[in-house]
Structure 1
Amino acid sequence: MNREEALEALRKSFEAGLFLNHRRLVCLALNEPYEYLADILKCYDELNPKDKTLLLVSESRREGFLSSIERSGRYMVSPLEFRDIDEALGGTYDVLLLDLAERFSANDLGKLVEVVRGGGLVLLTTPPLKEFYSFITGFHERLVRTPYTINDLRRNFEKRFLRKLTSHKAIWVLDEDKGLMGSEYIPARVDRSAVRYVRCDIPDAIVGMAATQDQVDVLVSFSNLLKDSRSRRRVFLVMANRGRGKSAVLGLMLASLTVRREFRRFDRIYVTAPTINNVLTLFEFLRKGLEALGQRFREVEDESLSLTVRGLTIQYIKPFELMTKSVDVVFVDEAAGIPLEVLYAIVDKAKFSVFASTIHGYEGAGRGFYLRFRSRLRGDPSIRLVEMNMKKPIRYSDGDPVESWLYDVLMLNAEPASLPFKPEELPGIGLKYEKLDTERLFQDDKLLSDFIGIYVTAHYRNEPDDLLILGDSPGHYARALTTEDGLILVALHIADEGSLPDEEIKLIAEGYAPPGNLIPSVAVKYYTPFSEFAKLRGFRIVRIATHPSLFRRGLGSKALRMLEEEASELGLDWVGAGFGASYEVLSFWVKNGYIPVHLSPVRNPSSGEYSTVVLKPLTEKASKFIKEMNWEFRLRLVNSLQDPYYHMPARVCRLLLTPYPSDYKLKPRLTESQLVRLKGYAERGLLYESCRDAFSELVKAHFLSSGQGRLGLDKTSEELLAAKCLQGKPWMTVGNELGMTSMEVKQACRGLAYKLLKYYVNVEQ
């Protein structure tokens, strides 16, 4: 096919896309794409003769691309550097030009392709196909850690990417040698149904702004929930794939509340999401809704994102900051990116709460969030719950071939396999531990979907780059616990780490952040006297997740034991993991014998969680290092809980203070005066406040002791000691956290003082 024939084929495809309100994708696999790019843009401009918006994402070749665009028609260009990609989210463009030859990132692809409207073009630039498995970008370089080299990249993701480029309809590849490849997409039917607007308690001005039937239906259901004022707590749950207009409809819902009498008594409504960027669209449609209602509002300049209307302030707040607020009405967008503990707290506090999240899309974890969160809500009889699913795309029509390709190539619609047996039949099912060949995994779409689908239903916030890392990065492997016939029940993504040379250890100690080697880097950075640990070898468990139908049946623990056996057979020194320190996840690791050795100094800005590292030694060498690091970690933590970790839940504190399993009893360093005051408090004479200094030293001695040397206390007692004596929380706050009254906390604390004195100081009453 010559140049003229190729352009004519593309012209017909673009014309069909404009008619169907579908997008088209062209991959320019050319060393010099500028002339062909200009011809393609001219062709599209002739078919779509209006001012068009074009998002250009490139850096080193930007000037060349701009030159091609300038001579090609009516295009208003928005150039972006790769680091600023998130600024495009929420916007809508006619054309995307993304230079994958400069940075080949699956995350970039997942985020940017979906900002193109129906009838638009997605233009990707890559090297020629013959160079596809050898080209190097800066992103590739970050996939390689010591002791591997760039030549060890496996390119499984690129192989699958290319296979999908050439197998989907309306996805065109223009190659340096092979010319134009692809075929047109002819849908079986065309959806031309109009939106049916329905009268409800929400003002017509708001309902009339809905762009799809799904948005109308959400507004009507929301209106019905508003009318139910008898329920003590009302929860509205909206789930959707990306690009369905859920954030926009949340903004319209919020605008409608400002004219309802029952909501005028509130002075503040909070809006939260993992990041402030997640709520920009919500606030945009909140403003549009208020304008449609004729409501005057003002932006609050000293807030990050806040406006006031009729005395009501609507304000964005970080998720974990809500834990300390008194709230009545809360809107939560991208809820899957927020720890479940925070979401449960919002439900418990708020009279009216709205939660929305993405089931499928580059954000990832929506499906797992939905299963667990919905189950909790349905099980609470005091909650009136309304659930809605939004399926119709808002930027383009149903059946868009580019969306189909994107979801396929990035596994955005991955689901775990259906079980051919009932969960209660599991004890009779034969299981095996399987080392999945990564190349085979990326060639088998069903197997890959089963593997990735388990993560989507787990506690992880998934990103497309996770798939790329598993496929390409040397030292990353897939493991699974399967049935005898290969059905995946537990999925594990692991990475080998360690064996660092002296020069790299020195660089890390001086501040260098290497690619990979997360756990050895933590050891060098925070436990410099034990830097030799970085020379040992181990497996870091990047992800482990169990099939959603088989939670809490011991499968995850069984898979861990089998992985540990493999690591021991390979002569590795340790197995470890790093993750957000939620109670549920931390409990799993501690239960399986993993020792906490690190907690990040600051929270993750999105989840509000602190990142923690846990380790399990497999050799005597590793045991010595991990014992020392755990001691140093507990020493730091008991002296830091009152300041940087004040808001951490007490039950998480208790788990983090899990000691290395050795027998050690620490005698507290107390003066004679401190002992007298402590004894006076324990005997019900003095107040707690009169001996807090001494009591905290006693509690520190308890948590720094281990094995047979630590006094055996129940969980609640240790949580009370951590919350009151180490974090310094008020009596009422401790009581609320532990489900006790302030008086019960005070009485328990006094009793514990006596027990600790008797055990650690040999003081009798």
Structure 2
Amino acid sequence: MLAGSQDWGIGTARRLTDDQSLWLGEGPDECHPIPANKVGRYLGREYPSLIFNAHSGLHPDAFGAALGCLAAGGVALLLCPPLDDWPDYADPDLSRYVALSEQARGLTSHFIHRFCRILLSDPKVLLWRQQAPPPPFPPLTGAHWQPRRDRHGCLSPDQRQALAMLLTSARRRQMMVLTADRGRGKSSLLGLAAYKLAAGGLRLLLTAPNPGAAAKAQEHARGTLDFIAPDLLLDTLPPADILLIDEAAAIPVPMLTRMAQHYCCLFATTEHGYEGTGLGFQLKFQQRLDSLAPGWCSYRLGTPARWSRRDPLEPLVFRLLALDADPASPPEQGRLQLRWLGQDRLASDETLLYQLFGLLTLAHYQTSPSDLRYLLDAPDTEIVLASQDDIPVAAMLIVREGGLDPALGQAVWRGQRRPRGHLLPQSLAFHGGLPEATGMRYGRIMRIVVHPRRHGQGLGSQLLARLQQHYTGRLDFLGASFGATPELLRFWQRNGFSLVRLGLTADGVSGHHAAMLLAPLSPAGEQCLPGWQALFQANLSYFLQDALAGLPPELVAQLPRPDSARVVNPDNDRRIAHDFAFAHRDFSADKPTLARFVAEQAATANLEPRQHKLLRQALLPGSQVERLAGTFGLAGRKAVIAQLRAVFQRLLAGA
């Protein structure tokens, strides 16, 4: 740790390292520094030294991923402000956790406070404070422990077993999943397996999130393995006997599913998911493999290959980022106790933090180290823990949203502003066409999780009932947004939540459309909700013939049907048409409203024939803007939307 000013830290790091280092954050041009959040393209490579400049922001995902790129015997340098000042430092990474950048000013980081405490308690961490003598450096060499490759190219019995399983699975056309923490040699093993399989006459393909992630496997395949990008692979489906997939957790689950439907696949992936989708692979995709390839096998590499078993850095990174957090086993029964936890309390109680974060990782397939920082640092976040006999059995994260300044709310509605956060009010206003949504106060349930051993006992419903009771009168709505499945919709609707929006495109990782549901908690919320539901239901009838035409029938069966007693407000339709014409509202989201508005106009005679034709074709359910561009000789999507805005401007002028 080089704790002091940024200039001193950069200068000192420059003297301690050479030009072969990986440098993240601000640094000298000759060192080719990269932004921390771009480290993903360097995964799978090795560097003799690594510099992480935390003055540029302590990005937890990047920090964890980068330190896995360090070679044996190397040194990692962490540049940071003086330790007493660091928790109050204006960390650029904090801007990711607030709605408006000015909210980050003056925040004390509980995440960094804990980070410093763990670093200072580790005797293997060398601290060099500015204006103090340097600490004594140990010899930096890994030669005395580094294993030699056997005749198969393996570095350990662990690797030999994994290689044998890869070869056997490929020859039997049996799917296999190889998992490991970083530095275990899984990419090298894919390459070794490919070399032997190619020598046996098998046709092989290799894919990965990017070419850099495939480089190590290609190196060990000795020229027998060509890389193909995932999207190109699925577009062309070239013939192959075996498809090897490296860093599989960083590829969206729907893409992995299609690969497994067309090929016999050997998957290799990092277990703890620095890329942010590790749990998606573990919790979602491996379940799909059960039906796609019954009898698939797996192997977990445990022995490090890139560094020693006694390496001090890896366990330190796991502690800093709680990568090995696991929930405690709950008791069979006991009185349920709810408590609201402060972020400062959580940051100072490692046992409680590990139990809570372990629970939360079970709730979402995209949990990453950045979620730990969010948990400890994000303002307007409330943490609710349910315990039995002091053992956590369930947890919820609630984010306070809404109550936006009227001017900001108007800009959001018109598509002129999109501040970070405030998911429910922004989406309901801009995509849902609800102008008053930005002024309402929401508690968005960001995560809700019940320990798997307590599933099916009604705990989730109990928690929601207690939450609604707690927040009644304090908020206008309790809400949630999640990937819609029939089971989840039934659960939330049973607990008094009403569907008010369904995303028009499926999530790239989960393959599900986002659903937004609300439960009113105030007279204002009770008054607004029927009108919001009426607009959503009227638009849904159109979208089921348009953007949502491909929804699974079992999901459609869970959706509400239009209620003739609920009438859409024509003034709101006209306002949407006006702000589509004269501002930046989204055509795809507003299509049903625009179609209703045009249908109710007495005359469109003031339109030119070409404009009338464009308008009629654009508002047909199922029409596609890109095809309209070809039909009308326009340059592309932007040109079509510009023409449609001009048509509505003329239509409104004559109305």
Once the two structures are TM-superposed, the CA of residue 496 in structure 1 deviates from its matched residue by 0.8
Which residue of 253, 257, 264 maps to 1:352? 264
Report SS of the residue matched to 1:133: helix
- Helix, strand or coil for the counterpart of 1:53? coil
Identity of aligned residues (%): 26
Answer yes or no: is the 8 Å Cα contact 1:156–1:439 preserved in 2. Answer: yes
Q: CA deviation at 1:461?
A: 0.9
Q: Is the CA contact 2:501–2:516 (under 8 Å) kept in the aligned structure 1?
A: yes
Q: Which residue identity does 1:489 align to in structure 2?
A: V
Aligned to 1:95: 49
1:144 aligns with 2:98: yes
The 5-angstrom pairing of residues 186-265 of structure 1 reads 194-197=148-151, 207-208=152-153, 210-228=154-172, 234-254=174-194, 256-260=196-200
Query: Where does residue 2 of structure 2 map in the other structure?
Result: 28
C-alpha distance in structure 1 between counterparts of 2:168 and 2:118, whole Å: 44
Structure 1 alignment gaps of length 5 or more: 1-26, 46-50, 71-76, 198-206, 307-314, 667-696, 698-725, 729-765
The answer (yes or no) to whether the contact 1:333–1:357 under 8 Å persists in 2 is: yes
Amino acid of the structure 2 residue aligned with 1:58: G
Of 403, 414, 423, 2:314 maps to 403
SS of match in other structure, 2:88: coil
What whole-Å deviation, never above 9, does each CA across 1:47-70 have from its counterpart, x for those lacking one? xxxx751122234xx3xx45xxx7
Counterpart Cα distance in 1 of 2:321 and 2:476? 34
Please tell me whether residue 658 in structure 1 is matched to residue 543 in structure 2: no
What is the aligned counterpart of 1:579 among 462, 467, 482?
Answer: 482
Aligned mates of 2:505, 2:239 — CA distance in 1: 24
Which residue matches 2:437? 533
Give CA-to-partner distance per residue, 1:176-199, whole Å, 9 cap, x none. Answer: 47766799799xxx86654545xx
CA–CA distance in structure 1, aligned partners of residues 481 and 132 of structure 2: 46
* Paired residue type of 1:409: L
Please, which of 431, 438, 444 is the counterpart of residue 343 of structure 2? 438
Secondary structure (helix, strand or coil) at the match of 1:129 reads coil
SS at match of 2:56: coil
Aligned AA (1:362): Y
Aligned position for 2:513? 610
The equivalent of 2:492 in structure 1 is 589
Asked if the contact 1:574/1:619 (under 8 Å) is kept, the reply is yes
Q: Which whole-Å deviations, capped at 9, do the CAs of 1:408-457 have from their partners, x for residues lacking one?
A: 111111111134x4xxxx3x422111212221111111111111111223
Larger radius of gyration: 1
Q: Does 1:168 align with 2:115?
A: no
**Amino acid of the residue matched to residue 572 of structure 1?**
L
Write out per-residue CA displacement over residues 236-284 of structure 1, whole angstroms, 9 at most, x where no aligned residue. Answer: 12222233333443354455544545x55xxx9685x7xx33x7423x3
Unaligned runs of 5+ in 2: 568-591, 593-620, 624-655
1:386 matched to 2:318: no
TM-score (structure 1 length as normaliser): 0.65
Contact 2:244 2:265 in 1 (8 A): yes
Measured against aligned partners, the alpha-carbon deviations of 1:217-249 in whole angstroms (never above 9, x if no partner) come to 2120122234546xxxx3312222233333443
1:479 Cα deviation after fit: 0.8
User: Cα deviations across residues 268-308 of structure 1 (Å, max 9, x unaligned)?
Assistant: 9685x7xx33x7423x3454355355x8x6x7xxx7569xx
Q: Distance in 2 between matches of 1:147 and 1:618?
A: 30
Partner of residue 508, structure 1: 412
Per the alignment, residue 384 of structure 2 pairs with 479
Q: Give the C-alpha shift of residue 329 in structure 1.
A: 5.5
Alignment check: 8 A CA contact 1:153 1:473 kept: no
Alignment partner, residue 135 of structure 1: 89
Residues 135 and 624 of structure 1: is their aligned pair in 2 closer, same or farther, counting only changes over 3 Å?
Answer: same
Shift of 1:114: 1.8
Structure 2 length normalisation: TM-score?
0.75
- Contact 2:483/2:512 (8 A) holds in 1: yes
CA distance in 2, matches of 1:610, 1:581: 6
Structure 2: distance between partners of 1:585 and 1:326: 38
SS at match of 1:488: strand
Of 91, 107, 110, the residue aligned with 1:153 is 107
Q: Provide closer, same or farther for how the CA distance between residues 506 and 418 of structure 1 changes in structure 2, counting only shifts above 3 A.
A: same
Tell me, what secondary structure is at the counterpart of 1:622? helix
Distance 1:350 1:84, change over 3 A: closer
Distance 1:185 1:418 in 2: 43
Cα 1:144–1:253 change in 2 (3 A) is same
Residue number in structure 2 paired with 1:718: none
Q: Which of 489, 492, 498 is equivalent to 2:393? A: 489
Is residue 120 of structure 1 aligned with residue 74 of structure 2? yes
The CA distance in 1 between the partners of 2:195 and 2:530, in whole Å, is: 56
Q: Distance in 2 between matches of 1:163 and 1:138?
A: 21
Contact 1:173–1:182 under 8 Å retained in 2:
no
Cα distance change, pair 531–445 in 1 and its aligned pair in 2 (3 A): same
Please tell me whether the aligned partners of residues 396 and 446 of structure 2 are also in contact (alpha carbons under 8 angstroms). Answer: yes
CA separation in 2, counterparts of 1:382 and 1:287?
26
Deviation at 1:517, TM superposition (A): 1.1
Corresponding residue SS for 1:626 = helix
Q: CA deviation at 1:652?
A: 3.1
Distance 1:585 1:92 in 2: 43
Q: Does 2:326 correspond to 1:415?
A: yes
Partner of 2:425: 520
2:222 maps to which of 261, 284, 291? 291
**SS in structure 2 opposite 1:600?**
strand
AA matched with 2:118: K
1:56 paired with 2:18, answer no
Query: What secondary structure, in the 3-state scheme, does the structure 2 residue paired with 1:632 have?
Result: helix
Contact 2:41–2:213, Cα closer than 8 Å, also in 1: no
CA contact (8 A) 2:88 2:107 kept: no
| Letter paired with 1:85 | V
- Please report how far the alpha carbon of residue 401 of structure 1 lies from its aligned counterpart in structure 2 after TM superposition: 1.5
Is the contact made by 1:166 and 1:182 (CA closer than 8 Å) also made in structure 2?
no
What secondary structure, in the 3-state scheme, does the structure 2 residue paired with 1:96 have? strand
| Distance change in 2, residues 1:647/1:236 (3 Å) | farther
